[in-house]
Structure 1
Amino acid sequence: MLWAAFLGQALFFVATYLFINQYPWLLLAAGVSFNGVIGYLIHQRSKQLQNADRSLEQGLLSLMDSDFSVSIPTAKDGNRDAIFDLFNRCTDKLRKERQHLYQREMLLDKVLNTSPVVTFLVDINQRIIFANRAAELMFNHGNSILGYSWSDVCAKLAPDFVQALQQSGESIFTLKNAQGEEQAWHLAKSGVRIHQANNTLYLLKSITNELNRQEVQTWKKVIRVISHELNNSIAPISSMCHSGQLLAKNLDEPRLDRVFSSISRRVDHLNEFIKGYGALSKLKMPDKRVIDWQVLLEQISALYTFNLVTDIPKTDVYADEHQIEQVLINILKNAHEAYSESESMGEVCLAISEQSQGGIGIEISDNGPGMAAEVLENALLPFYSTKHSGTGLGLALCREIIEAHQGKLSFYNRKSGGLTVRIFLPAQLL
């Protein structure tokens, strides 16, 4: 078998040699064709690699330009498809991360611009590089202050305000607003490093309302303690007074009966006094509904007359009608009493108007003597009263009701004489 294999191979080589000697041009043609095919395949492969390199280069340039929407198609027939697939997964992850960051930035921007805290950022060159809506309202009437020089902004502020802003860390200071009211502010000033640059962050928060709430809560605690102690004493005094009156009848002594009757009346008066302050310390939360101003004003006018000098606005205000009625009655009562004290003739005027910040403004004005500076400062405090028989409860209760509605109550002496009481009620349902 072995010799047959060798014989077959020998015959094959001999035949090949004779064929080549007889047809040499056929071998040349075969060689040229083979070289052409090999060259074409090499050219095509080189072109594919160049296209792949160009796609990868363009993709990387797009990433440098923060364009994460680019992707490279994979043909699944080359050694670089794994790299392209990894590139596409990276761009997809970067795209999702950027979308997530964008949503967080939008949320942060929304929160900052709706926050009442005045927030602005000053760079190392003393230029304002960020300011929220509250800062624009405070420093530039609601217009943008981005790019403004901080020194130029400070030049338009009151000296006391500028001095307060120059303090480091946290501080509390007071300023007077356009109406001359003292407003308390909390300032937080700190350094912030952004993109390797040092900046200064300012946070300004009005704490006047918070201080007022804390003050009212303190008064409520005091009133509850006093009421408790007085009730503990009044109950046995009232019982003993009643027993004394019964004994006085048996003794047939008129003077004792007058004494016990006087004690009984004073005890009843003290009970009413305590109940009044209990109303302040236990004021219910407002039951807010749309107020029908026409009906409400007609009901109030039956008790205290006034001249309505404006049309009733159409803006819906959600409030507790009974509590607002109590406030208006109390203020109108004070206005009418101011006439009797000054012995002047005039009428009480009431105006209701829509406010630019949304909501309703109510003004009640009289032509009385007005309020002294000390009275204006303390008028809203419980226990404070200039009337001989006053309890100092009425205006304090009015303030508590208005602030429970997220509103504001204030007093101003009129230049022409008399007093104006202003009430602001927000229109939104809370």
Structure 2
Amino acid sequence: MLWVAFIGQIAFFVSTYLYVNQHPWLLLIAGISFNGVIGYMFHQRSKQIKNADRSLEQGLLSLMDSDFSVSIPTDKEDNRGPIFELFNQCADKLRKERQHLYQREMLLDKVLNTSPVVTFLVDINQKIIFANRAAELMFNDGNSILGYSWSEVCTNLNSDFVQALQQSGESIFTLKNSQGEEQAWHLAKSGVRIHQANNTLYLLKSITNELSRQEVQTWKKVIRVISHELNNSIAPISSMCHSGQLLAQNLDEPRLDRVFSSISRRIGHLNEFIKGYGALSKLKIPDKRLVDWTTLFDQIGALYRFDLITDIPNVEVYADEHQIEQVLINILKNAHEAQSETDKVSQVTMAISAVKPHGISIEISDTGLGMAPEVLENALLPFYSTKHAGTGLGLALCREIIEAHQGKLSFYNRKSGGLTVSIFLPSAL
């Protein structure tokens, strides 16, 4: 740009020179004008260079301040244009990288805060510098614990819990909750280096439900194997028994007929036994729909009497109504049978209430003798029963149904006597 102007000025000077040959006094004016124009051009060029330098300096300072939205205008005729273009490309790339990183951080934060795994990070000064939602719920009733001293948090914990958390590496331990139930936990503790600082990462996960599911799956496999073997034996025995009954009728031998009739009845009972356990091992996936609790309680009350001592909360619960009905009937049947073992006036009550954040709790209580500690511990296991004619199927099937609804079934003895069966059902689909 400058050299074009310079050539133009030379041409102007030559033409002026030719003209001033006839007018010499114009030569002085032309020289002064030429020097003024050249001086002005150099001044403008110097100003452009300073502005470009200032723009580049401001752009670099913006990048240092993590402001990647800055860009520098480019001029193709400026020899610094390629440098400015490269600067703009770098800023654009950094801007895209930051957006990508921000999205990843948002996703990671969402995953960590919705995860049931208790996750928190403690720095070298034993200060909590990160805690997800599960950690806040466990240690501070849902309130933030950022900046808290780890020793402060531990003062509100069970001593056995604190001792378990002090172990290094991975470990599994059990604790009792407020209702006296054993809860199994898996702890993973490791060192993490962040920004050149050493920190300790804690990952705490409840594995009680997983162990329970594994236990149920094991029982199902055992039941399927036993059912298969029993069916293979019952079929030919039943056929031979039927043939024996026909022979006994032809021989007119009443005693032999009674023997085969007795065997046939026991085979029928064994078939029903196998079918019952087949229901546990082949439970259908719940067909969840909005539950009409009023209608459901009326239907159940026609079979087993109970007193509903609370109002039905205005909480929409989606569940398989037939399966929930089966659970409630089984529990009410057990409650009435417990009443018959005492001399007290029969009283079975049911309470239903909303549970935060989203769900309901149903509690069925009786005034019977309650359960011995050993029975409480094993009541939900298949094949376990304290009844003479019991199969140990009912409560195991109830637990399987409730857990298929992502709920929880538990028992506890009442201080005033009797047993309470507690059912939690989430309201979400």
Distance (whole Å) between structure 2 residues aligned to residue 115 and residue 425 of structure 1: 20
List per-residue Cα deviations over 1:27-54 (Å, max 9, x = no partner). Answer: 4433332222211111111011111111
Mean alpha-carbon deviation: is it higher for 296-305 or for 23-32? 23-32
Separation in 2, partners of 1:241, 1:74: 101
| Residue equivalent to 1:121 | 121
Equivalent AA in structure 2 for residue 398 of structure 1: C
Q: Which residue of 2 aligns with 1:323?
A: 323
Amino acid corresponding to residue 372 of structure 1 in structure 2 = A
Distance, in Å, in 1 between the alignment partners of 2:233 and 2:96 is: 72
Normalising by structure 1, what TM-score? 0.93
Given that 2:129 and 2:146 are in contact with CA atoms closer than 8 Å, whether structure 1 keeps it comes out as yes
Please name the residue that 1:377 is paired with. Answer: 377
Deviations 1:80-111 (A, max 9, x none): 12211111111111111111111111111011
2:336–2:346 Cα contact (<8 Å) kept: no
Is 1:205 aligned with 2:211? no
Structure 2 counterpart of 1:38, one-letter code:
I
Which residue is 1:306 aligned to?
306
Residue 36 of structure 1 corresponds to which residue in structure 2? 36
The one-letter amino acid of 1:138's match is M
Equivalent residue, structure 2, for 1:284: 284
SS of 1:42's partner is: helix
- The equivalent residue for 1:153 is 153
Question: Aligned residue for 1:138?
Answer: 138
CA contact (8 A) 2:370 2:414 kept: yes
Paired AA for residue 112 in structure 1? L
Aligned positions, number:
412
Q: How far, CA to CA, are the matches of 2:418 and 2:39 in structure 1?
A: 106
CA shift, 1:291, in A, is 0.7
Q: In the aligned structure 1, how far is the partner of 2:288 from the partner of 2:278?
A: 22
Q: Rg larger in 1 or in 2?
A: 1
Please list the CA deviations of residues 361-399 of structure 1 after superposition, one character each: whole Å capped at 9, or x if unmatched: 111011111111000000000000000000000000000
Which residue matches 2:270? 270
Please give the per-residue CA displacement for 1:142-179, whole angstroms capped at 9, x wherever unaligned.
01111111122122211211121111111111111111
Q: Partners of 1:155 and 1:280 in 2: how far apart?
A: 44
Give 2:414's aligned residue.
414
Please report how far the alpha carbon of residue 248 of structure 1 lies from its aligned counterpart in structure 2 after TM superposition: 2.2
The aligned residue for residue 165 of structure 2 is: 165
Where do 5+ consecutive residues of structure 1 fail to align?
Answer: 1-15
Q: In structure 2, the residue corresponding to 1:424 is in which secondary structure?
A: strand
C-alpha displacement at 1:314, in angstroms?
1.9
Instruction: Give the deviation of 1:205 after TM superposition.
Output: 0.9
Residues 175 and 183 in structure 2, CA contact (< 8 A), matched pair in contact too: yes
Residue 280 of structure 1, CA deviation: 0.5
1:3-402 pair list within 5 angstroms: 26-402=26-402
CA distance in structure 1 between the partners assigned to 2:312 and 2:147 by the alignment? 44
| Percent of residue pairs bearing the same amino acid type | 84
Determine the structure 2 residue equivalent to 1:6.
none
Residue by residue over 1:60-79, the C-alpha shift from the partner in whole angstroms, topping out at 9 and shown as x without a partner, is 11110001111111233311
Residue pair 2:176, 2:182 contacting (<8 A) in 1 also: yes
**C-alpha distance after superposition, 1:313-363 (max 9, x if no partner):** 221111111000000000000000001012321311111111112111111
Structure 2: any 5+ residue segments left out of the alignment?
Answer: 1-16
Q: TM-score, normalised by structure 2?
A: 0.93
SS in 1 for 2:341: helix
